[in-house]
Chains A and B, each alone.
Chain A
Amino acid sequence: MQNEQDIAIRLRIVYLTAVLFGIAIIARAFTIGVVQRDQWLAKKNKEVLRYHTVEASRGNIYADDGSLLATSLPIYTVRLDFEVEKLRKAFPEKIDSLADGLHKIFPETSASEFKQELRKGYRAKSRSTLVRKDVNFKELSEMRKLPILKGRAKYGMILESKEKRVMPFRSLAYKTLGNIYDKGKLTGLEAYYNTYLKGSNGKRLKQKMSGGDWKEVNGENEIEPKEGSDIVSTIDVQLQDVAESALRKQLLINKAEQGCVVLMEVKTGHIKAISNLTRSKTDSARYTEESNLAVSATWDPGSTFKLASVLALIEDGLVDTNEIFDTQGGVIRFCNHPIYDSKDGGYGRISLADAFIQSSNVGIIKAVMKGYQSQQKKFIERLKAFHLGIPSGIDLKEEQMPTIFYPGHKNWSCLSMPSLAMGYEVLLPPIQMLAFYNAVANDGVMMKPQLVSEIRHNGKTVKRFDPVVIDSSICSKASIRKVKPLMKGVVERGTAKNLRNPHYQTAGKTGTVKKKFKVNGIEKKSYRASFAGFFPYDNPKYSCIVVIENPSQAGFYGNIVAGPVFKEVADKVYARSREMHQGYVKVLAASEMKPEINPGFTEDLRVIASNTGMKVSMPEARWTRVRQSGAALVAKPENFDMELMPDVTGMGLRDAIFLLENMGLSVKPSGKGKVKKQSIPAGTRVNRNSLVTIELA
């Protein structure tokens, strides 16, 4: 009994302690819950509920034929939540097959790398272990077949999706289409048509949970996002491709700094191709779209501006095209400053027409000074009437304001009039010059350069942008009739004879701007070559401008440097369009094609193949050689070692020059047709700057 009483007493002591402890708990709860109540309520999480943005999917940009130029694709990030029990249980057994499967889908990451990362997450019980980011839908579908991931959310798979802007043609018209990622700043059409493209974002109410995660309050969006509309651009993918590769080739051959080409449809003002390429600072053989030079580069147009000078004189009835001017030995002075003709000694006594065709600075200046010396302001007003010095209104926010000085302006000097007459002391983006040339081609009707023709929503046209006539008559038709033959003369017998061809007639004007500047006190020269014009002459369909800045090889004249780009684009248009020339075009059936063993630039071959209906798939290589294998054609990548002389026999001149120049060789061609002989045998190790002569036949 003694023992039992002892136990009972000890039990009571423990019980009493327990009661006291219980009271302490309640007292503590009372202190927190009642006494300090406000203090703790003040610390309540403020953001219990919050609206989260549900992004609307952005509209597409299409080419004129419906090809997709820019679109938004969902791109996924896949994570695993290693606190999910099912995942923890299955993981040790499935990790090997999961890692192997992931490696098969993403060969660039090894299975052991996957394993290592996932194990790390498993050990740390990480709630969001990254499995893979930038996963496209196809890859995601593959991933969902793998062990664990096929269990989806039940096995802790977390899927985040966001939209990624994708341009299926990659760099094609890159700056014109624009970018939505450039430092948060929209550019190009993406910027100009953003209100249509962006749609409107939705909202979804979410509640904050422990660990900082947000869970949806309701199963659906409180405000549904509205998807953006699509825009249909006027760009023609094929012509764009031709323009871009022609420009790139010409930039490479001439080792130029940058350049642009714009092709415009005369009647509508639709831009069919617009390309801007700038040399990479690190790789001199690489040209990419860095800025939209065609609309944003304010350059002196140079001699292409002489069209405006001549048209002004004719429109104002001051000088006629047959009036003769003495080029006085090819030099004329203003305030002691000489201005020379590009031909030493000048052109003797020539008509205004010939001064234009030969691009005589002295001749044109003398004509302009004769007409406007006493009424300088009238010249400027006439230019304004041609809409020169006024923005073109193209649907790109990047278009820059032009600059033309007035007499009386502080920058106006005794040199200003003569300079302006030949396209100096005036700053115009190429697009504005082109709009003027287009108006001349269009019999004086000036069209607004336009990149987008309609807005579509779910395939239905919701808004149409009809061609806009800026000015139904920038000058009289009679004046147009007088200048057009001069433009044709430039190609037929003037400064751009190299562009002449037997199939169709071209009209235009060359421009070569000479820039002098000083580097460390040494005077240096640089050039800007350009060509602007239209084709075909009789019934103009397209106008086109090409500007190439700082060519440093081959030559610097507009016809040599910029002309070939113009010609290549025009040739392409000519070859493609049957209505443009009267002659019957024999379209060769694929079976009649006799493929030649003829390596070429893959992009070219691809265009050729698609235009002729040849069924052959081109490899992903820069150069390709096509061979006949039985009835089928086989295209194999051609890898040229940049230090060994390649076999260029069978190539066209263009491709051969491009390839050899690209290797740093100087090429001296002779003859016409395809390369038959090369002076350095194929396979020989060659040094840069070696001379190679090729014979064509």
Chain B
Amino acid sequence: MPVIYAKGDRTIWIVVLLLTLLSVLAVYTSTGTLAYAKQGGDTEHYLIKHTVLVLSGLFLMYITHLANYKIFSRIGQLAIWVAAPLLIITLMGGEINDASRWLTVPIINASFQTSDLAKLALIMYIARLLSRKQEQIKEFKGAFLPLLLPIFVTCGLILPANFSTAALLFLTSMVLLFIGRVNIKYILALAGVGVIAFALFILVALNFDLPGRIGTWKARIENFSSEKTEGNYQSEQAKIAIANGGLIGMGPGKSEQRNFLPHPYSDFIFAIILEEGGILLGSFVVLLYLILFLRVIRMIKYSPQSFATFLAVGCTLMLLFQAFINMAVAVNLFPVTGQALPLVSMGGTSIWFTSISIGIILCVSRFCLKDGGKEEADEIA
């Protein structure tokens, strides 16, 4: 009877732990203002809350990585059927937030963004489909269309409530299809259609007053394209933070801009990192994410199955893209989107989904063994 040891790729574990440590520090330093505004000056309130979430996330990560990766193929198939109706429910019923993104789970009474679940489900499902269709992967009808269908449905259901998440998920899916050897012509053609559609949408949004979230997007696009000082308040404050930090930073806990930046603990946490740790620490964070990606590329050389490859790469890409978008926003390469920095930002239940993603990567890594992880996996299964 084979004994399963909890391990996985050690470098990935180290990267994760370093980011987690950074997360706790950065959240503590940046929630001071929030603590004054909402908790009557109890600055430890958010530190404790966040630490508990992070620790429970690490626990979930550990549990997840103990599983057999093959199980995620089945879970993905199921989850995609669960996620779609949940997305519809949240779209219909949400009054909690102007953006109807949240769903409350009845029994444990925790609300989570259904898009977090849908993201993970879609990645697992694409990985499953890709691995199954490898034989006819270059076909349009045989592979591209069946792959496109769940992507369109999922992203389409997320889109009304959360444009940036939908776009990010779509981008991740496309890149994953590319890696999965889908014919590049189809992807480029689709991208072309997408660009035209998006251009049309922006034209419509800018010229007509549309209700709800569209108004917010419109404002963001306008702010990014024109240099209106008022609208650019956030990015200007972020730039001041970066300038404050310079090369080596102001030192831990010395941030000034946390008092002026909205959401310094999530959307703009990278600006706070740059302010307190300078470009040095900022580069290190970028490096950590790239190391994570590199380790995944390295390990899947020994991937037992194409499904394992696509699963690990999909999860990694999702984290990486989100991370880079967040950082790009902080340094004003991108317009303000509201994406958190995975593993670092404070945020309720979405931390758990990030942890599960990492858990999945670690899980796959356990089976990427030079001396035939394939057999081991089969044995376990």
Contact = CB atoms under 8 A, between A and B. Distances in A.
A48 B259 contact: yes
Interface string A196-207: 000000000001
Interface in B31-64: 33, 36-41
B279 A29 contact: yes
Interface stretch (B9-17, B174-182, B213-221, B359-367): B174-182
Nearest to B284: A26
A209 B37 contact: yes
Interface size of B as a range: 35 or more
B313 A11 contact: yes
Contacts of B175: 14
A209 B33 contact: yes
Given A34-B246, A43-B240, A209 B259 contact: yes
Contacts of A215: 33, 36-37, 41
Given A15-B297, A25-B328, A207 B259 contact: yes
B179 A84 contact: no
A25 B327 contact: yes
A85 interface: yes
Contacts of A29: 242, 274, 279, 282-283, 331
Given A11-B297, A18-B293, A32 B286 contact: no
B239 interface: yes
A45 interface: yes
A7 B178 CA distance: 9
Contacts of B237: 210
Interface in B237-271: 237, 239-240, 242-247, 256, 259-262, 264
Nearest to A17: B175
Interface residues of A, number: 50
B294 A15 contact: yes
A616 interface: no
A579 interface: no
B77 interface: no
B245 A10 contact: no
Contacts of A572: none
Contacts of B245: 33
Interface in A2-34: 3, 6-8, 10-12, 14-15, 18-19, 21-22, 24-26, 28-30, 32-34
A37 interface: yes
A40 interface: yes
Contacts of A541: none
Contact of A22 (B243, B247, B286, B313): B286
Nearest to A211: B262
Contacts of B242: 29, 32-33, 40
Residue of A19, A22, A207 contacting most chain B CB atoms (<10 Å): A22
A210 B34 CA distance: 10
Interface string A624-641: 000000000000000000
Nearest to A36: B243
Interface in B280-327: 282-283, 286-287, 289-290, 293-294, 297, 300-301, 306, 309, 313, 317, 320, 324, 327
A213 to B, nearest CB: 7
B337 interface: no
A15 to B, nearest CB: 6
A14 B37 contact: no
A574 to B, nearest CB: 63
Contact of B279 (A30, A83, A125, A154): A30
Contacts of A32: 239, 242-243, 331-332
B205 to A, nearest CB: 21
Interface string B173-191: 0010011110000000000
A195 B194 CA distance: 74
Given A34-B246, A83-B38, A26 B286 contact: yes
B317 A14 contact: yes
Nearest to B111: A89
B293 A210 contact: no
Interface string A24-64: 11101110111011111101110010000000000000000
Given A26-B282, A41-B244, A14 B179 contact: yes
Interface string A135-170: 000000000000000000110100000000000000
A442 to B, nearest CB: 64
A10 B301 contact: no
A120 to B, nearest CB: 13
A33 B278 contact: yes
A153 B40 contact: yes
A18 B320 contact: yes
Nearest to A208: B259
A6 B246 CA distance: 42
A44 B290 CA distance: 33
A516 interface: no
A380 B347 CA distance: 90
A44 B237 CA distance: 8
A40 B294 contact: no
A33 B277 CA distance: 12
A518 interface: no
Contacts of A15: 293-294, 297
B134 interface: yes
A8 B324 contact: no
Contacts of A39: 243
A46 to B, nearest CB: 12
B333 interface: yes
A123 interface: yes
B376 interface: no
Interface of A: 3, 6-8, 10-12, 14-15, 18-19, 21-22, 24-26, 28-30, 32-34, 36-41, 43-45, 48, 81, 83-85, 88, 92, 123, 125, 153-154, 156, 207-211, 213, 215
22 contacts: A7-B179, A7-B309, A10-B181, A12-B297, A14-B179, A15-B294, A21-B328, A22-B289, A22-B290, A24-B328, A25-B282, A25-B328, A26-B283, A28-B332, A29-B242, A33-B245, A33-B278, A40-B242, A44-B256, A48-B256, A208-B260, A210-B260
Given A14-B317, A33-B279, A45-B240, 6 more contacts: A22-B286, A28-B332, A32-B332, A40-B243, A44-B244, A215-B33
